[in-house]
Structure 1
Amino acid sequence: MNCMKLLSQKLMSCGFDRQTTEPQVRIAILNRFTSLGILITQPVD
């Protein structure tokens, strides 16, 4: 939740449909950043 607040602490959209979509977009961005930062280790033969 703290990372969510770093992107923005309030909703910027006025319409209800857009207000429900905005957090989903933020979560998708956070998930992408997280996936880029996770190391993938592979065993060496």
Structure 2
Amino acid sequence: MRCFKLLAERVKARIFNSQAAELQIRTALLNRFTQLGTPITIAVP
């Protein structure tokens, strides 16, 4: 949640549907950043 708030302190859109879209975009960004930052590990037998 902290990282989610770092993207923007508050929702800028005024209409509910726009607010939902804005939050979905933030979530997609966070997921992408997490995916990019996760190391690929391979178990060696």
- Runs in 1 of length 4+ with deviation above 3 angstroms? none
Match of 1:12 in 2: 12
Is 1:41 aligned with 2:21?
Answer: no
Q: TM-score, normalised by structure 1?
A: 0.85
Structure 2's unaligned 5+ residue stretches are none
Structure 1 residues 4-42: Cα deviation after superposition (integer angstroms, max 9, x where no partner): 110001111111100111111101000000000001022
Match of 1:25 in 2: 25
Q: TM-score, normalised by structure 2?
A: 0.85
Identity over the aligned pairs, expressed in percent? 47
